[in-house]
């Protein structure tokens, strides 16, 4: 990553005071260095800095500083939303509780869920830098193979299970996660973004002779996107609910690999969209944005089984006493949220599969979501969506439009 001219506020005094609060109360900084922490096209809602600190005692360590965008429509939208509150609560409160539960109940399978938290103020977070531990992003354009996806399902099952126990012990713990961020306060910016991206997808699908019949159906969702999102994300309090990660795509996961190149561990990052609702929301989001096309088409049920096994094993270890979610129940719930999978396939998947030199401009899309059609013209996206649309139709994604 390139060296970055630091913002005025990001100086020695700020670093010392903030890191003394959450890292080491005796910290004295000798030198520090700031670099960008993410590549072009890997992050859309914040600026990420990697700060390497050398203490006066000759200890060297690094942290990540995440600073919510300020400028433009995207900055206004994000800072008016609860995105920062959700992530700050997750890192400082929820993840430590979830980690402690898992470590106590399943020490042999224990791994943290995400980075360690150090400091927060409005719009800013300081957290552990996971790269020295060997964690890194996978290549989003390639998609995750089966071994990566199985690892994600095991981690997600444990993540969801620990959240169930926390809610059971303290229902108020989910107070900051009651609604989906995309529909809170009927946010017009988010709905305009989704609607514009759906229209882009519909316009492109209309040019595919084999799939043009789906264009009008996709476009119809754009006309009622707020209502659609409200229906599909609505929580049934009598059903099995979990704390969803909410933004479960490949760029929000870090993997560590063995000497032979096999993924052996993974962590979740970016908790701005967490919400308490059906576990199928996370599952549909992940399945329709992050695996390779082959994994998605041939191994979805295998992944659901792996998730279910990890979920139930963890709930049992944690002493969960209520009725377990059966595998058939999970399959039915997953199918009932197919609209969410279809929406993400039409809006996020083209961005996931775009080349690294193509950068999605969130501000531009908030002005008019149809202004970035090139993301929808990629061959990889076309090949994937052409295979997915008939399955979405078979599973009922367009049924309510008839």
Structural domain that includes position 31: 12-68
Burial of 40 (0-12, 13-18, 19+ CB in 10 A): exposed
Please write the tens of the pLDDT for every residue from 185-244: 655 677 788 888 999 999 999 999 999 999 999 999 999 888 899 999 999 999 999 999
C-beta separation of 356 from 141 below 8 A: yes
295 and 188 share one domain: yes
Enter the tokens of residue 78. 């994000």
Q: Which residue in this structure is represented by tokens 């002005």?
A: 367
Enter the tokens of residue 278. 């059906």
Enter the tokens of residue 277. 């609702």
Please write the tens of the pLDDT for every residue from 51-66: 999 999 999 999 999 9
CATH number of the domain bearing residue 294? 3.90.1200
Whether 362 shows a pLDDT value over 90: the answer reads no
- Helix axis angle for 188-205 and 379-394, nearest 10°, is 100
Report residue 1's pLDDT band, with 50, 70 and 90 as the boundaries: very low
Q: Is 290 left (phi over 0), alpha (psi -120 to 50) or beta?
A: alpha
Instruction: Please report, for residues 269, 338, 394, the alpha-carbon distance to residue 344 in angstroms, rounded to integers and kept in the order given.
Output: 19, 10, 17
Q: What is the pTM of this model?
A: 0.94
Report residue 30's pLDDT band, with 50, 70 and 90 as the boundaries: very high
Report residue 109's pLDDT band, with 50, 70 and 90 as the boundaries: confident
36 and 172 share one domain: no
60 and 83 share one domain: no
Residues with Cβ within 8 Å of 51's Cβ and at least 6 positions away in sequence, in order, are: 10, 15, 32, 33, 34, 62, 63, 64, 65
d(C-alpha 17, C-alpha 69), whole Å: 23
Would you say residue 1 lies in a domain? no
Confidence at residue 81, expressed as pLDDT on a 0 to 100 scale: 84
- What mean pLDDT is predicted for residues 379-389? 96
Residues with Cβ within 8 Å of 155's Cβ and at least 6 positions away in sequence, in order, are: 111, 113, 266, 267, 268, 310
86 and 64 share one domain: no
Confidence at residue 2, expressed as pLDDT on a 0 to 100 scale: 46
Which of 94, 136, 160, 120 shows the shortest CA–CA distance to 261? 136
52 and 108 share one domain: no
153 and 17 share one domain: no
Which of 301, 363, 346, 352 shows the shortest CA–CA distance to 327? 301
Confidence at residue 132, expressed as pLDDT on a 0 to 100 scale: 96
Query: Which DSSP symbol is given to 258?
Result: -
84 and 56 share one domain: no
Would you say residue 7 lies in a domain? no
Would you say residue 256 lies in a domain? yes
Confidence at residue 401, expressed as pLDDT on a 0 to 100 scale: 63
313 and 226 share one domain: yes
Share of the chain above pLDDT 70, in %: 89
Split into its structural domains, the chain has a count of 2
341 or 374, higher pLDDT: 341
H or E element, residue 242: strand 242-244
Would you say residue 128 lies in a domain? no
Rounded to a whole number, what is the distance in angstroms from the first to the last CA of the chain?
50
Which of 89, 80, 86, 19 shows the shortest CA–CA distance to 55? 19
Please write the tens of the pLDDT for every residue from 271-302: 999 999 999 999 999 999 999 999 999 999 99
63 and 90 share one domain: no
Confidence at residue 78, expressed as pLDDT on a 0 to 100 scale: 73
Share of the chain above pLDDT 90, in %: 76
Whether 105 shows a pLDDT value over 70: the answer reads yes
Would you say residue 84 lies in a domain? yes
Confidence at residue 6, expressed as pLDDT on a 0 to 100 scale: 72
Please, where are the H alpha helices in 7-82? 12-22, 72-80
Would you say residue 265 lies in a domain? yes
C-beta separation of 343 from 228 below 8 A: yes
Would you say residue 373 lies in a domain? yes
H or E element, residue 125: strand 124-128
d(C-alpha 215, C-alpha 1), whole Å: 40
1 or 28, higher pLDDT: 28
Would you say residue 60 lies in a domain? yes
Please write the tens of the pLDDT for every residue from 299-316: 999 999 999 999 999 999
110 or 216, higher pLDDT: 216
Which of 23, 49, 310, 266 shows the shortest CA–CA distance to 164? 310
Q: Which residue in this structure is represented by tokens 């939208």?
A: 77
Enter the tokens of residue 182. 């995309």
Please write the tens of the pLDDT for every residue from 131-158: 999 999 999 999 999 999 999 999 999 9
C-beta separation of 173 from 213 below 8 A: no
Whether 87 shows a pLDDT value over 80: the answer reads yes
20 and 152 share one domain: no
44 and 178 share one domain: no
Mean of per-residue pLDDT scores for the chain: 90
64 and 200 share one domain: no
Residues with Cβ within 8 Å of 26's Cβ and at least 6 positions away in sequence, in order, are: 20
Confidence at residue 191, expressed as pLDDT on a 0 to 100 scale: 79
Confidence at residue 110, expressed as pLDDT on a 0 to 100 scale: 87
Report residue 114's pLDDT band, with 50, 70 and 90 as the boundaries: very high
Confidence at residue 185, expressed as pLDDT on a 0 to 100 scale: 60
């Amino acid at each position: 990553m390139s060296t970055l001219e630091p913002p005025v506020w990001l100086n020695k005094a700020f670093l010392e005071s903030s890191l003394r609060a959450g890292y080491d109360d005796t910290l004295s900084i000798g030198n520090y260095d700031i670099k960008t922490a993410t590549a072009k096209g890997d992050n859309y809602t914040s600026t990420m800095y990697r700060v390497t600190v050398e203490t006066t005692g000759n200890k060297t360590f690094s942290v990540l500083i995440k600073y919510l965008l300020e400028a433009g429509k995207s900055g206004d939208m994000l800072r008016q939303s609860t995105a920062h509150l959700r992530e700050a609560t997750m890192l400082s409160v929820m993840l430590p509780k979830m980690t402690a539960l898992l470590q106590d109940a399943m020490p042999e399978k224990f791994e943290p869920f995400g980075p360690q938290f150090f400091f927060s103020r409005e719009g800013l977070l300081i957290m552990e830098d996971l790269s020295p531990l060997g964690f890194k992003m996978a290549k989003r354009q390639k998609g995750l193979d089966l071994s990566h996806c199985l690892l994600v399902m095991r981690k997600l099952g444990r993540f969801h299970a620990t959240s169930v126990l926390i809610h059971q012990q303290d229902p108020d713990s989910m107070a900051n996660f009651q609604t989906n961020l995309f529909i809170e306060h009927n946010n017009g910016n988010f709905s305009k973004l989704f609607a514009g991206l759906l229209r882009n997808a519909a316009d492109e699908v209309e040019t595919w002779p084999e799939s043009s019949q789906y264009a009008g159906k996709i476009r119809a969702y754009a006309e009622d996107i707020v209502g659609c999102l409200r229906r599909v994300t609505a929580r049934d309090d009598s059903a099995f609910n979990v704390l969803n990660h909410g933004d479960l795509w490949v760029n929000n996961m870090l993997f560590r690999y063995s000497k032979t190149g096999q993924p052996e561990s993974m962590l979740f990052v970016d908790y701005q969209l967490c919400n308490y609702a059906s576990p199928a929301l996370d599952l549909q989001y992940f399945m329709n944005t992050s695996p390779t096309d082959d994994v998605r088409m041939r191994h979805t049920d295998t992944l659901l089984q792996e998730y279910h096994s990890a979920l139930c094993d963890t709930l049992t270890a944690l002493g969960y006493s209520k009725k377990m979610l059966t595998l058939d129940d999970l399959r039915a719930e997953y199918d009932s949220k197919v609209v969410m999978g279809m929406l993400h396939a039409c809006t996020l998947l083209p961005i996931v599969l775009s080349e690294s030199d193509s950068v999605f401009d969130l501000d531009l899309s908030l002005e008019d979501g149809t202004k970035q059609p090139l993301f929808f013209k990629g061959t990889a996206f076309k090949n994937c969506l052409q295979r997915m649309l008939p399955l979405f139709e078979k599973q009922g994604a367009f049924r309510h439009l008839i």
